[in-house]
Structures are given as structure tokens and as C-alpha cells.
Amino acid sequence: MGNVRQKRGKLFFDFRYRGERCREYTALAYTASNRKRLQFILAKIETEISLGTFEYAQYFPGSKLSEKFTTTQTPPVVKQATALTPLFRTFIEDWFTLSLPSWRKSHAATVRSTIDCHLTPHLGDIPVAEITKTHILQMRVEIAKCKGRGG
């Protein structure tokens, strides 16, 4: 989690991105309203980082770090790992089969129903390594739209 801090009467952002500490200074004076404004922007930045949509240059166009982060490509190992991961549908079936002996029949039926009704329809055709928080949140929205029992 990042912070909005002050140094010599000026505010700056202090946060982590791609495992590196980033400090971006502003020309804004240390006032309550300026601090609140920067905290709001920092919250947006952290949300975008968690969703994987953050573009450093969009928020800090003149920064040296923006050049570093825009030229940095995804490491080939990550791309290879993504290609080798199974689809969620395959993974969840293997997991269910391996977990089945340790469950009671009633619990197994509940899990099977959850897999068939909710998980597989929403996430089934996505490789496990590519499932993001956005996918999970979209699935939750769709589930929340469904009527409950008997409805």
C-alpha cells in the first residue's frame, strides 16, 4: 500500500509497482486539500495496479521510471508459464477428483454444484495463469444477478 508523503513542504507519491519502490514528486504544497487530492489519485493508481491496467506513463509522463516501465516487456519465462498452464475447466476437474476422497458425499455434491453452475461457465475457458481479480469480480456480479432458491 502506498502513501502520500511530504518533504520540504511538497507532497509526493510513495508506492510499489512491479516489485520496485516508486517515488514521484509533485509541485503541490503540503495542505489538507492537496493531500486529499493525491490520496484519491493514489487509490486509483493502486486499483489499476491490482487489476493489471496501470500505465506508469499515463500518470507520470516525464518520469525516468515511466521510460523504464514502458520499455520493460513481460519476461519470456512468464509468457512460457502462461502457455503451459491448463484451462480452468481442466484444473478444477483434476482438483475435484483429487479432493473427493476426503469429503463427505453431501459436501462433494455442494462443491460439484458450485463448479458446474458458477465456476466453469464463467472461468472454464481461461488458462489458470491468466485469471485476474477482474474475472473474479465479474463472476461475482453475474452470480449476484441470479435469483435465489425457488425464484
CATH number reported for the structural domain that contains residue 83 in this entry: 1.10.150.130
48 and 97 fall within a common domain? no
62 and 84 fall within a common domain? no
DSSP line for 6-32: EETTEEEEEEEETTEEEEEEEEEES-H
Overall domain count for the chain: 2
123: pLDDT strictly greater than 50: yes
- Residue 151 counted as domain residue: no
39 and 63 fall within a common domain? yes
- Residue 99 counted as domain residue: yes
Domain-ending residue, one of 18, 53, 72: 72
Among 74, 51, 67, CA closest to 134: 51
65 and 126 fall within a common domain? no
Domain span at residue 129 reads: 77-145
Domain-ending residue, one of 40, 72, 104: 72
Give the pLDDT confidence score for residue 107 in this predicted structure.
95
Q: Which residues contact 92 (CB under 8 A, 6 or more apart)?
A: 115, 119, 120, 124
Domain-ending residue, one of 32, 54, 72: 72
Give the pLDDT confidence score for residue 2 in this predicted structure.
86
Of all residues in the chain, the percent with pLDDT exceeding 90 is 33
123 and 63 fall within a common domain? no
C-alpha cell at 128: 489458470
Give the pLDDT confidence score for residue 83 in this predicted structure.
57
Question: pLDDT (tens digit, 9 = 90+) per residue, 63-86?
Answer: 888 888 875 555 555 555 555 788
137 and 112 fall within a common domain? yes
Give the pLDDT confidence score for residue 135 in this predicted structure.
87
pLDDT band, residue 151 (cuts 50/70/90):
very low
- Residue 150 counted as domain residue: no
The per-residue pLDDT of the chain, averaged, comes to 85
The residue assigned the cell 515511466 is 66
Question: pLDDT (tens digit, 9 = 90+) per residue, 17-38?
Answer: 888 888 999 999 999 999 999 9
C-alpha cell at 60: 507520470
